[in-house]
Structure 1
Amino acid sequence: MKIIDSHCHIDRVDLDQFGGSMESMLAHAKDLSVEEFLCVCIDLEHFDDVFSLAKAHQQIYASVGVHPVE
């Protein structure tokens, strides 16, 4: 079964446990059947970071919106 994480903040993942590597983290996720990610950005200030991840990794998609408490 292919799993899609439809709401994550992958730009804020502590990569230390993956040797500092986004590729290693994505490979680990794929081993657990998580193959695609919708990375949700809650402000424009950090959108460039999220969008850069989406451009660099075909399995990451970017979105941006305003959090309801902001």
Structure 2
Amino acid sequence: MAKTKATAYIPMGLLYVLLVDTEDGTTTVQMEANSKEEALESGQELYPGCRLALVNPVPGEQKG
């Protein structure tokens, strides 16, 4: 009998864009998180000195 594995989708809430300074200039990194504080904290662990650029309320969707 084959076993199947169920995967639950848990929405993160917001999509954040972080500005990251590199040797070649500045680039952006997208990050899903529950709050701007969480996004910035996680981003700074990966990219020290990064800055929060914007918040998109629906991951992957842009308004305007």
| Bigger relative CO (Cα 8 Å, ≥ 6 apart) | 2
Both structures adopt the same fold (TM-score exceeding 0.5): no
**TM, length-normalised to structure 1:** 0.27
Q: Which has the higher helix share?
A: 1
